[in-house]
Structure 1
Amino acid sequence: MWGIYLFLIALLAVFTILPKIQSSHWIFRVPEFGKIQIFYITFFTFIFGFLIENPSNFLYSQGLLVLLFVHHGVTLVKYTPLYPVKKYRQQHKSSQKLHFISANVYQFNKEYDRFIKLIEKYSPEMFLTMESNGEWEQAMRVLEKEYPFQHKVTLENTYGMHFYSKIEIKSAKTHYFVADDIPSIEAHLKTEDGFSFVFFGVHPPPPSPTEEETSKERDGDLLSAAKRVKDIHQPVIVVGDFNNVAWSKSSILFRKTSHLIDPRIGRSFVSTFHAKYRLLRFPIDLMFHSEDIFIKELKTLENFGSDHLPVYCEFFIDHHNDEQEEQVEGATAEEKAEAEEMIQEGKEEDGERDAVVTED
């Protein structure tokens, strides 16, 4: 029992230290995803320590667990209602409430009807799909009468994206920031009550043993999007499968570079992946927004057969409400230089992806 206890402590310590090493290799970046799980395992290991025979160095090992628990807890508490953030009220000069759904549909998921019924059930003004290929595009055509405005990037490499809207799309473009097979969508919309805003969809590749060896393309793509967003002088929402967690260094750098707000802070984790395994679920489908967009509700919806849960958001726009401005953080000169370096590394990284990906 004592051996198991020590092994767990060593494992927790390693998974805590690895992300501190500034290497882009997946070995160092993947442990960032499991911070929530590490936090809980640390707590249960601490309790487990009292149930076994206590040798002379027991207090030292328990003390280390307390330090690990506090270390992870200080970060994670920001993404819970326990963390104080300034409350706001919707004013009469704001837009009507708007809703969107963001969903990584999983390219090889054939349960198209479940997703279509999900959209029909919640009837958002707009929705974004990722990993949507030609078959998904064909399946979603039944929704085009209800969603007459679309921007489609149909790919078979698991990085296709489709954006559908009831609100008029004034203009839209597809960006390829670091690679010619990794798109991002920028759509400019205007509501019937006269509020213009920009919807930005992203889906960079993840660092993992089965996909990209490093996080260079992911980080370069996200920070390129952040630079583009900073130059947009309208309310902005950036949403998608970031293949990243909000507390990682590159996510924080994204938030500071773009001058956007993370709505999870003071709210909840909104964990989305893996949809089938609750205890191994990470919050990697993220969202950020400018200070004149106010989030009323942010949550996951029911599984429709994908490996990701869809994200549902209700928001409104208010140009006259400055209650969120203090939540906007800018990047320092050193952080800006670091972001530029990461963007350049992302462009130079040669990701080896097939143009057509088939299910193993």
Structure 2
Amino acid sequence: MWEAYLAITLLLLVLTILPKIPNSHWVFRFPDFGKIQITYITLIVFAAGFLIEKNAYFWYFQGLLLAMFIFHGFILIRYTPLYRVKKHQQGKNSSKKYHFISANVYQFNKEYDQFISLIEKNKPEMFLTMESNGDWEKALQVLENEYPYQHKVTLENTYGMHFYSKINIEHSQTHFFVADDIPSIEAHLKTEDGFSFVFFGVHPPPPSPTEEETSKERDGDLLSTAKRVQEIDKPVIVVGDFNNVAWSKSSILFRKTSHLIDPRVGHSFVSTFHAKYRLLRFPIDLMFHSENIFIKNLKTLENFGSDHLPVYCQFFIDHQNDQQEERVEEASADEKAEAEEIIQEGKMEDGERNAVVTED
């Protein structure tokens, strides 16, 4: 028992230290994804420690486990209702409430009808699909009368994206910030009650043993989006499969560089992947918004056959309410320089992806 306790404690220590090392290889970045699970396991091992036979080093390792639990807990508590943030009510100057759904549909998922039923049930004004290829585009044609405004980037490499809207899209464009096969969507919309805003859809590649060896393209793509957001003088929403977690260094740098707000703070993790394994679920489908956009509801919806749960958001716009300004953090000069360096590294990285990806 002591050997197992010792081995697990040392493994937890390694997983805690690795993300603090400034290296973009997936080995160093991946433990951040499992911070929630690492925290729970740390607490379980700490409690189980009292059941094993004690030796001279017992209290040192118990103290180490307690310190790791406090370290992780201090970070994660910000993403729970225990961390209090002010709630905002709609005022007479605000827009009406709008809704969107963001979903990584999983390119090889054939449950098209389940997703279409999800849209028809929740009736969002907008929805974004990721990993949507030609088959998905064809299946979603039944919704085009109800969602007459569209922006489509049809790819077969698991990075296709489609944006559908009931709200008028005044203009839109596709960005390929760091690679010519990794798109982002920028759509400028105007509501019937006269409110303009910009919707960004993003889906950078993950650092993992099966995809990209490093996080350079992911981080470069996200920070390029953050830089573009700073050029826009309208309310902004950025949403999608970030393949990142909100507490990672690159997510924090994205938030500071873009001057956007993370709605998970004071709310919940909103974990989305993997849809089939609740205990191994990570919050990697993220959302950020500008200070004049107010979130009323942010949650996951039911599984429709994908490996990601869809994200549902309800929001309103209010240009007269400045009470969220205090939640906006700005990057320092050093952080801005770091962001520029990461963007350049992302552009130089040669991601090895097939133009057409088939299911194994």
Q: TM-score range by the shorter chain?
A: over 0.9
Give distance in 1, aligned partners of 2:209 and 2:65.
29
Equivalences for 1:181-330 in 2 at 5 Å? 181-330=181-330
Q: 1:143 maps to which residue?
A: 143
| Local SS of the residue matching 2:127 | strand
Give distance in 2, aligned partners of 1:84 and 1:300.
21
Equivalences for 1:1-360 in 2 at 5 Å? 1-360=1-360
Runs of 4+ in 1 over 6 A off after TM superposition: none
Give distance in 2, aligned partners of 1:76 and 1:31.
14
Give distance in 2, aligned partners of 1:88 and 1:186.
27
| Local SS of the residue matching 2:302 | coil
- For structure 2, the residue ranges without an aligned partner over 5 or more in a row are none
1:149 maps to a residue whose letter is Y
- Shift of residue 279 of structure 1? 0.3
| Local SS of the residue matching 2:34 | helix
- Shift of residue 87 of structure 1? 2.4
| Local SS of the residue matching 1:174 | strand
Query: Once structures 1 and 2 are overlaid, which stretch shifts more, 84-93 or 73-82?
Result: 84-93
Give distance in 2, aligned partners of 1:87 and 1:206.
33
| Local SS of the residue matching 1:86 | coil
- Shift of residue 180 of structure 1? 0.3
- Shift of residue 323 of structure 1? 0.8
| Local SS of the residue matching 1:261 | coil
Give distance in 1, aligned partners of 2:335 and 2:185.
25
| Local SS of the residue matching 2:206 | coil
- Shift of residue 294 of structure 1? 0.1
1:83 maps to a residue whose letter is Y
1:163-205 deviation per Cα after TM superposition (whole angstroms, max 9, x unaligned): 0000010000000000000000000000011000000000000
Give distance in 2, aligned partners of 1:13 and 1:226.
33
Give distance in 2, aligned partners of 1:359 and 1:88.
45
- Shift of residue 56 of structure 1? 1.7
2:244 maps to a residue whose letter is N
Give distance in 2, aligned partners of 1:347 and 1:246.
23
1:118 maps to a residue whose letter is L
- Shift of residue 27 of structure 1? 0.5
1:7-36 deviation per Cα after TM superposition (whole angstroms, max 9, x unaligned): 110110000000010000000001110000
| Local SS of the residue matching 1:102 | strand
- Shift of residue 86 of structure 1? 2.1
1:105-138 deviation per Cα after TM superposition (whole angstroms, max 9, x unaligned): 0000000000000000000000000000000000
Give distance in 2, aligned partners of 1:359 and 1:2.
44
Give distance in 2, aligned partners of 1:183 and 1:54.
56
| Local SS of the residue matching 2:288 | strand
How many equivalent pairs are there? 360
Give distance in 1, aligned partners of 2:158 and 2:319.
37
**TM-score, scaled to structure 2:** 1.00
Query: Once structures 1 and 2 are overlaid, which stretch shifts more, 160-169 or 77-86?
Result: 77-86
- Shift of residue 50 of structure 1? 0.7
- Shift of residue 89 of structure 1? 1.7
Give distance in 2, aligned partners of 1:226 and 1:318.
22
Percentage of matched positions with identical amino acids? 79
2:239 maps to a residue whose letter is V
- For structure 1, the residue ranges without an aligned partner over 5 or more in a row are none
Give distance in 2, aligned partners of 1:357 and 1:272.
23
1:164 maps to a residue whose letter is Y
